[in-house]
Amino acid sequence: MNFKYGMLTPLLALFGVAVGFPLCYAVYLSVTDYRLTDREPPGFVGAANFVSALSNPAFWEAFTTTAIYVVIAVCGELVIGFALALALHQQRWAKDLSRAIVLAPMFITPIAVGLIFRFLLNDQIGAVPALLHAVGANYDFFGSGRALLTLAFIDIWQWTPFMVLLILAGLESMPKQPMEAARVDGAGPVYRLRRVLIPMLAPVLTVAVLLRGLDALRVFEYVYATTRGGPGTETQTLQYFMYLEGIQFFRLAQASAMAFIVLVLVLAVIVIAFRTIERNKA
């Protein structure tokens, strides 16, 4: 059995250094009054940072903003990604090229994607508003009430390919017989989709939504590239808000406390979601 632990030890050691240690250090930071500009060792303040974060309306606003963003983006990606995966699955002509084009956005660094859309959708120089002006329409993509939607749209542009990738992999590894049997039995396309395909793909869809949702929660690049939280604080997502607190305003301790509150809430949502799934299975 020494072999088993010999194999595991390097992983645990590296995991401890790269994840465990920073995590513990962050716990320590979150109960001090540490500021990035401090010279002397930080003092212990107990739960004060947590209390001030929980009672900070701006924190909860960022929380709501992020939740709306994640729901819109992930739902959009799931629906569009599912349709595209089905379409690509049956594509025979120029198969590799069509797949490469559809998957391309997920390989582009998000800051580049954010900057592309910042200028593509810009009122003065962007091609899309110019196109809209030509047909007499006027739509300010980064205006009040619309900026968050635009950010979610950018997320959809970049990350629908991730859904396509996972769903496509699921479709490729799926046995063909059930779909064939349903067709032979005279089931229509809608019935086959709802009663055969979606139930069979359910595990893949769950993993895809989970991974996408967790990743969308940390949205930072698009906000940083386009709105910087504006107009007002409308598009201040959690990650951007904590970046401002910790780095711009040097309040590392408070930012760490906020990050832990987010972590606990997200873990709670995941545990509840998995419980619900398990119960529905039984």
Partner 1 sequence: MKRPGWLDIIRIAVLTAAFVFVLFPIAWVALASFKTPTQMSEPFLLMFSPTGENWRAVLESGIFAAAGRSALVGVLTVSISLVVGSMGAYAIAKYRAGGSLTRFGMLAAQVVPPAVMVFPFLTMAHALRMTDTLVPVIFAHLSFVLPLVTWFLIGFFEAVPSSLEEQARVDGFSRWQAFRLVVLPQVYPGIGAAAIFGFTLSWNDLFYGLILAPGNAAILPVAISNFNTFRGVQIGAMSAAIMIAIVPVVVASFFIQRRLVQGISGGAVKY
Q: Closest approach of Cβ 170 to partner 1, in Å?
A: 6
CA dist 97 and 202 (Å) reads 28
Amino acid, res. 26: A
Q: Which of 31, 62, 84, 151 binds partner 1 (CB under 8 A)?
A: 84
Q: Is 190 in the site for partner 1 (CB under 8 A)?
A: no
Q: Which stretch binds partner 1 (CB under 8 A): 49-57, 142-150, 178-186, 238-246?
A: 238-246
- Binding residues for partner 1, total number by CB under 8 A: 95
Q: Is 116 in the site for partner 1 (CB under 8 A)?
A: yes
Q: Is 202 in the site for partner 1 (CB under 8 A)?
A: no
**Per-residue contact string for residues 19-58; x = within reach of partner 1 by CB under 8 A:** x-xxx-xx--x----x-x----------------------
Q: Which of 270, 272, 275, 276 binds partner 1 (CB under 8 A)?
A: 270
Residue 153 backbone phi and psi in degrees, to 5: -65, -40
The most distant pair of C-alpha atoms in the chain lies apart, rounded to whole Å, by 77
Q: Which of 75, 130, 202, 272 binds partner 1 (CB under 8 A)?
A: 130
Distances (CA, A) of 214 to 18, 122, 173, 262, 270: 19, 29, 25, 12, 10
Q: DSSP label at 41?
A: P
Q: Where are the alpha helices (DSSP H) in the chain?
A: 2-15, 21-30, 48-54, 57-89, 95-103, 110-120, 127-134, 147-172, 177-184, 189-191, 198-216, 221-225, 238-243, 252-281
Output the CA angle 8-11-14, nearest 5 degrees: 145
Q: Is 255 in the site for partner 1 (CB under 8 A)?
A: yes
Q: Which of 141, 142, 196, 221 binds partner 1 (CB under 8 A)?
A: 221
Residues 169-188 that bind partner 1 (CB under 8 A): 169-170, 172-173
Query: In this complex, which beta carbon is closest to partner 1, that of residue 192 or of residue 234?
Result: 192
